[in-house]
Structure 1
Amino acid sequence: MTLLRVVCHQLAPRIGDTHYNRTLTERSIRAAASLNAQVIVLPELVQSGYMFTDLEEAHEASETRDGPTLSLWKSLAQALGIIIVAGFCERLSAGRVANSAALVEPSGRLTVYRKAHLWDREKLIFTAGDAPPPVVDTAVGRIGMMICYDLELPEWVRLAALAEADLLCAPVNWPDGPRPVGERPAEIVRVQANAAVNRMFIAACDRYGEERGVNWVGGSVIVDADGYPLAGAASQPMEQQWVADLPLAQARNKSISDHNHVHRDRRPGLY
Structure 2
Amino acid sequence: MSKLKVALLHLLPIAGDIKKNQSLIEKAVKRAADQNVDWIITPELAVSGLQFSQKIGTKWIMQQPDEWMLNFVSLVQSLNTNVFLGCPEKSESGELYNSVFVIDRGGNIIGKQRKITSIIDDWSTSGAFIEPIDMGNVKIGVLICADAYNKNIADKFLAKGAEILIAPSAWVQGYTDQTVSGNKDR
Deviation of 1:55 (Å) = 10
Q: Which runs of 5+ in 2 are unaligned?
A: 178-186
Relative contact order, higher structure (CA 8 A, sep 6+): 1
* Counterparts of 2:102 and 2:134, CA distance in 1: 11
Q: Kindly indicate whether residue 72 of structure 2 is the aligned counterpart of residue 73 of structure 1.
A: yes
Q: Name the structure 2 match of 1:109.
A: 108
Percent of matched pairs sharing the same residue: 26
* Counterparts of 2:35 and 2:50, CA distance in 1: 28
Deviation of 1:26 (Å) = 0.7
* Counterparts of 2:42 and 2:166, CA distance in 1: 9
Q: Name the structure 2 match of 1:28.
A: 28
Q: Name the structure 2 match of 1:166.
A: 163
Aligned CA distance change for structure 1 residues 76 and 53 (closer, same or farther; 3 Å)? closer
Q: Which runs of 5+ in 1 are unaligned?
A: 176-209, 218-271
- The answer (yes or no) to whether the contact 2:50–2:171 under 8 Å persists in 1 is no
Deviation of 1:72 (Å) = 3.0
Q: Kindly indicate whether residue 46 of structure 2 is the aligned counterpart of residue 49 of structure 1.
A: no
* Counterparts of 2:115 and 2:55, CA distance in 1: 16
* Counterparts of 2:67 and 2:176, CA distance in 1: 27
Deviation of 1:19 (Å) = 0.9
Give the ranges of 4+ consecutive aligned residues of structure 1 lying more than 3 Å apart after TM superposition: 52-56, 93-96, 214-217
Q: Name the structure 1 match of 2:15.
A: 15
Length-normalised TM-score, structure 2: 0.84
Aligned CA distance change for structure 1 residues 151 and 166 (closer, same or farther; 3 Å)? same
* Counterparts of 1:216 and 1:46, CA distance in 2: 17
Code of the aligned partner of 2:14: R
Q: Deviations over 1:239-267 (max 9, x none)?
A: xxxxxxxxxxxxxxxxxxxxxxxxxxxxx
Question: Residue 134 of structure 2: which of 126, 133, 137 is its match?
Answer: 137
* Counterparts of 2:74 and 2:95, CA distance in 1: 27
Cα RMSD between the aligned structures? 2.3
Deviation of 1:42 (Å) = 0.6
* Counterparts of 1:68 and 1:18, CA distance in 2: 13
- The answer (yes or no) to whether the contact 1:43–1:173 under 8 Å persists in 2 is yes
Deviation of 1:107 (Å) = 2.6
Q: Name the structure 2 match of 1:154.
A: 151
Q: Deviations over 1:142-184 (max 9, x none)?
A: 2221200000131101111222222222211235xxxxxxxxx
Deviation of 1:95 (Å) = 4.8
Length-normalised TM-score, structure 1: 0.59
* Counterparts of 1:165 and 1:57, CA distance in 2: 35
Between Structure 1 and Structure 2, how many residues are aligned? 176
Q: Name the structure 2 match of 1:87.
A: 86
User: Higher strand proportion, which one?
Assistant: 1
Residue 148 of structure 2 aligns to a residue in which SS? Answer: helix
Deviation of 1:65 (Å) = 1.0
Q: Name the structure 2 match of 1:64.
A: 63
Residue 58 of structure 2 aligns to a residue in which SS? Answer: helix
